[in-house]
Amino acid sequence: MLTIPDTIQLDFTERVAAYATARGLPPYEGPRLDHTAMRAREKLVRFHGPTGDVAHEFVWPGRTVIEVPGWIWPFERPEDCAELDSTIWFDVAGHLVPDKADLDAPDGVVLLCAGCGLDCT
- Would you give the end-to-end CA distance of the chain in angstroms? 34
Q: Could you tell me which of 43, 98, 39 has the C-alpha nearest to residue 68?
A: 39
The Cα–Cα gap between 121 and 112 comes to: 7
Specify the DSSP element, H or E, that contains 110: strand 110-113
pLDDT at residue 4, rounded to an integer? 46
Q: Is residue 92 part of a domain?
A: yes
Query: Residue 87 — φ and ψ, nearest 5°?
Result: -130, 160
Quick one: pLDDT at residue 112?
95
**pLDDT above 90 for 21:** no
- The pTM of this model reads 0.74
Question: What residues make up the domain containing 107?
Answer: 6-113
Residue 1 lies inside a defined structural domain of this protein: no
User: Which residue type, as a one-letter code, is found at position 52?
Assistant: G
**According to the model, what pLDDT value does residue 16 have?**
58
Q: What is the dihedral of CA 80, 66, 73, 51, to 10 degrees?
A: 0
Kindly state the average pLDDT of the residues 5-23.
61
Average the pLDDT over 85-107 and give the result. 85
The confidence band for 2, taking pLDDT boundaries of 50, 70 and 90, is very low
For residue 118, being part of any structural domain is answered with no
